[in-house]
Structure 1
Amino acid sequence: MLKQIIKRFLPDHQTIKRQKALKMFGTVLHDPNLWHLNRKSASGAFGIGLFFAWWPVPFQMWLAAAFSIPLRVNLPLSVATVWITNPFTMPPMFYGAYLLGTTILGAPEQHFKFELSWGWVVQSMGTIGPAFLLGCAICSVVFALVGYFGLNAMWRYSVSEAWRKRQERYKQQQS
């Protein structure tokens, strides 16, 4: 059941392989494990995607893809999972990471006004940066582990429920 839900949202691997932008990877993308959807590949991809979703960098999808290939987990799922952080979810997620960082460092919460400029980013790394980056690092690891083990457990439960229902149907047919 869980496999069908995930497959419904993932693109066809043949379509992805034909993308001109991905030709630079050559035959690396022809590894079937990158496209196969099983418990190991899905939970690994979900963990990788959640890990990089908490990184405050603009190329999260590339990082998720770069780690998915050598670890041989589902590539589209890891890249898609990164989109948990999007323009709507980033502010509360990253603010929460900042608050976590200030709590762990014991630093006072500093009030700041966000500006979309390189100068603001450089200046804020000296003030709120350490707490923010520590919070992002902790959230990255924690959410990756929770996502990996959580999806793994959900997958196992889904398979065991399918087996149980199949056995019940078999017993009903026998009687």
Structure 2
Amino acid sequence: MGNNPGPLRRFLAKHAPTREELARSRWLKPVRRYIEAHEYWRFTRRSVPRAFFIGMFIGVFLMIPGTQMIGAALMCIPMRGNIPIAAALTWVSNPATTPVFLIGALEVGGFFGFETHLDQLYELYESDASIRQWFAWLFTDAAPGLIFGLFVIGLVLALVAYWVSLVGWRLWIGKRWRQRTD
């Protein structure tokens, strides 16, 4: 079979922060002992699906760049999720997907009766608005609809990711067992 790592491990090795890098972070100093614990870095049938849930939820709901990976790592501690997978999955929101998530969140918020001001969002986008104008828009009546929509989308995608990872894990283990018996 060989020692060739799979695509997930190659991706994590290339993009995810190492345990040592997270442990050196001044922001994570209060939880350094948890980050250095091996249980948060092992790939187990329980830690991997939890990490998929955490990474997907935080990646969609917490749309503040730079805080997503830290938020995912912190959420892995009480939920006992795999930190590298959760941190890597926060990249589900990136410059290409963020507008889709924001517009989708406003649509979901509007569906549930929140004010969304989608027309103002388009105006800001078209006018190359400053960061201050974007933040001002966030503090209008649109903010509750956006936050609720991001929460719903993040929760739904996180649940789907959790169940897909459970099934994927089961299939992978079944394949490994079959290979052992052959």
Taking structure 2 as the reference length, the TM-score comes to: 0.77
CA distance, structure 1, for counterparts of residue 9 and residue 111 of structure 2: 40
Which amino acid is 1:11 matched to? Answer: A
Higher helix share: 1
Which amino acid is 2:38 matched to? Answer: P
Which amino acid is 2:142 matched to? Answer: I
Task: Please list, as runs of the form range in 1=range in 2, the aligned pairs for 1:19-30 lying within 5 A after superposition.
Answer: 20-21=24-25, 24=29, 25-30=31-36
Matched, 1:81 2:84: no
Task: Return closer, same or farther for 1:96/1:108 CA change in 2, 3 Å cut-off.
Answer: closer
Task: Please list, as runs of the form range in 1=range in 2, the aligned pairs for 1:102-121 lying within 5 A after superposition.
Answer: 102-105=110-113, 110-112=118-120, 113-114=123-124, 115-121=129-135
Q: 1:16 aligns with which of 9, 19, 36?
A: 19
Q: Structure 1: which 5+ residue stretches go unaligned?
A: 170-175
| 1:82 alignment partner, SS class | helix
Residue equivalent to 2:53? 47
Which amino acid is 1:78 matched to? Answer: A
* Higher RCO, Cα 8 Å, sep 6+: 1
CA distance, structure 1, for counterparts of residue 78 and residue 32 of structure 2: 14
Using the TM superposition, give the Cα deviation of residue 15 of structure 1 relative to its aligned residue in structure 2, in angstroms: 4.8
Task: Return closer, same or farther for 1:138/1:92 CA change in 2, 3 Å cut-off.
Answer: same
CA RMSD of aligned residues (A): 2.9
Q: Structure 2: which 5+ residue stretches go unaligned?
A: none
Q: Cα deviation per residue 1:60-90 (whole Å; 9 max; x = unaligned)?
A: 2111111112322211111111011011211
Using the TM superposition, give the Cα deviation of residue 94 of structure 1 relative to its aligned residue in structure 2, in angstroms: 1.5
Residue equivalent to 1:32? 38
Residue equivalent to 1:172? none
Structure with max Cα Rg: 1
Using the TM superposition, give the Cα deviation of residue 36 of structure 1 relative to its aligned residue in structure 2, in angstroms: 0.4
Residue equivalent to 2:68? 60
Q: Cα deviation per residue 1:14-72 (whole Å; 9 max; x = unaligned)?
A: 95315632682443222111110122111111110111111233312111111112322
Contact 2:116 2:142 (C-alpha < 8 Å) held by counterparts: no
Task: Return closer, same or farther for 1:108/1:45 CA change in 2, 3 Å cut-off.
Answer: closer
CA distance, structure 2, for counterparts of residue 82 and residue 29 of structure 1: 17
Query: Please, which moves more after superposition, 72-81 or 114-123?
Result: 114-123
Identity of paired residues, percent? 27
Q: Which runs of 4+ in 1 moved over 6 A?
A: none
| 2:177 alignment partner, SS class | helix
Task: Return closer, same or farther for 1:48/1:77 CA change in 2, 3 Å cut-off.
Answer: same
Taking structure 1 as the reference length, the TM-score comes to: 0.80
